[in-house]
């Protein structure tokens, strides 16, 4: 999935905790760091 707009990534620790609460065995592969700007169209 590509970003439709330029964004700043925020909330990754909260999102990871949420998904681990649903499935403790889930594997999360971050493609951007929390606070990192992501340009439009980046995958």
38 in any annotated domain: no
C-alpha 12/C-alpha 24 separation (Å) is 16
Residue 3 has a pLDDT of 76
> pLDDT by residue (tens digit) across 3-42?
788 999 999 999 999 999 999 999 999 999 999 999 998 8
- The parent domain of residue 16 ranges over 7-33
C-alpha 8/C-alpha 14 separation (Å) is 15
- Give the predicted TM-score (pTM) of the model: 0.68
28 in any annotated domain: yes
CB neighbour class for 24 (10 Å; exposed up to 12, middle 13-18, buried from 19) = exposed
22 in any annotated domain: yes
17 in any annotated domain: yes
Structural domain count of the chain: 1
SS3 string of the chain? CCCCCCEECCCHHHHHHHHHHHCCCCCCCCCCCCCCEECCCCC
1 in any annotated domain: no
15 in any annotated domain: yes
Residue 41 has a pLDDT of 85
């Amino acid at each position: 999935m590509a970003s439709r707009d330029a964004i700043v990534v925020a909330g990754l620790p909260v999102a990871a905790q949420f998904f681990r609460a649903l499935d403790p065995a889930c594997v999360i592969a971050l493609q951007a760091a929390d606070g990192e700007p992501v340009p439009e169209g980046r995958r």
